[in-house]
Amino acid sequence: MRAHTEGNSDAGVAVGRAAATVSGPAGAAALRTRGVRVRFGAGATLALPDIELEAGGRVLLAGPSGSGKSTLLHVSAGLIDPAQGVVEVDGVDIHRLRGAARDTFRGARIGMIFQTFQLLDGLSALENVLLALMFSPVPPREHDGRARALLDELGIARHGARPGQLSVGQQQRVAVARALACRPRLVLADEPTAALDPARAAAAMDLILGACHRHGAALLCTSHDPAMAHRFERRLDLPDLGEPERGERGRGGA
């Protein structure tokens, strides 16, 4: 994987430099949303909350499935376009970026942790992390060292192991390393502990919070588990997240 990354270094550097040129004002919030509404189907819309998440901050979005938590994360990542409103990541309105520019910006500024991890089974732990670095502004000569350092920091000694050879907890650690690989300003975590028992869930959340803190990344995390709330600076509950209009509440997403 290392050779493949270096072989594409010119393309990766070019894309990474393009991402680096898109920047907001100094001291901008990691995430700022204002007046965001998402449309579903024929006319139903979901009003999402106004959020200001400062650099290094941590906010928990709490609520049951179907409340719109995942929708908010997807809008914040630029994966879903809102019908109206502004979503700024590091001072840049991500929805004003189009195509490859948005993808590149996302890869450089946003890390994502999924409930099912979404690691590539055919790649090793190291290669999964390296993949996240290929189109980042991190210089190619630093990719291998950064990926290995993150895996070591998170307790993954078997860099060459594939996901199927790792425990669920180890897979999650690889997913956290991948999310932090590009030195993101913002990490979005979607129900990262939903499949774990209470003891493992608490340990996993502490791992995620600690890693984000050490690397200076703000964290916006969804959970339906109220026991997680005390670990965060702020908690936004379902009633505060917005109400669907002219449609069923369940259409707002997870």
Contact 60, 236 (CB under 8 A): yes
pLDDT tens string 7-24: 444 444 444 444 444 666
- Report pLDDT for 53: 97
Q: Which of 61, 170, 157, 65 is nearest to 117 (CA)?
A: 170
d(CA 52, CA 86): 12
Q: Which of 237, 214, 195, 194 is nearest to 153 (CA)?
A: 214
Give the other-Cβ count within 10 Å of 85's Cβ. Answer: 17
* Average confidence (pLDDT) over 208-212: 98
Cα dihedral sign for 213, 218, 221, 227?
A: positive
Contact 187, 207 (CB under 8 A): no
pLDDT tens string 103-134: 999 999 999 999 899 999 999 999 999 999 98
pLDDT tens string 22-65: 666 778 999 999 999 999 877 788 888 899 999 999 999 988 77
Q: Which of 153, 138, 142, 223 is nearest to 188 (CA)?
A: 223
Q: 2-252: which CATH architecture?
A: 3-Layer(aba) Sandwich (3.40)
Contact 185, 109 (CB under 8 A): yes
3-class state of residue 48 by DSSP: coil
- Report pLDDT for 254: 59
Residue spans per domain, the chain: 2-252
pLDDT tens string 53-102: 999 999 999 887 777 889 999 999 999 999 999 999 999 999 999 999 99
The yes-or-no verdict on residue 150 having pLDDT over 90 is yes
- Report pLDDT for 242: 52
Q: CA geometry: angle at 103 spanning 130 and 15, to 5°?
A: 65
**Cβ-based neighbours of 66, under 8 Å, separated by 6 or more:** 249, 250, 252, 253, 254
Contact 150, 113 (CB under 8 A): no
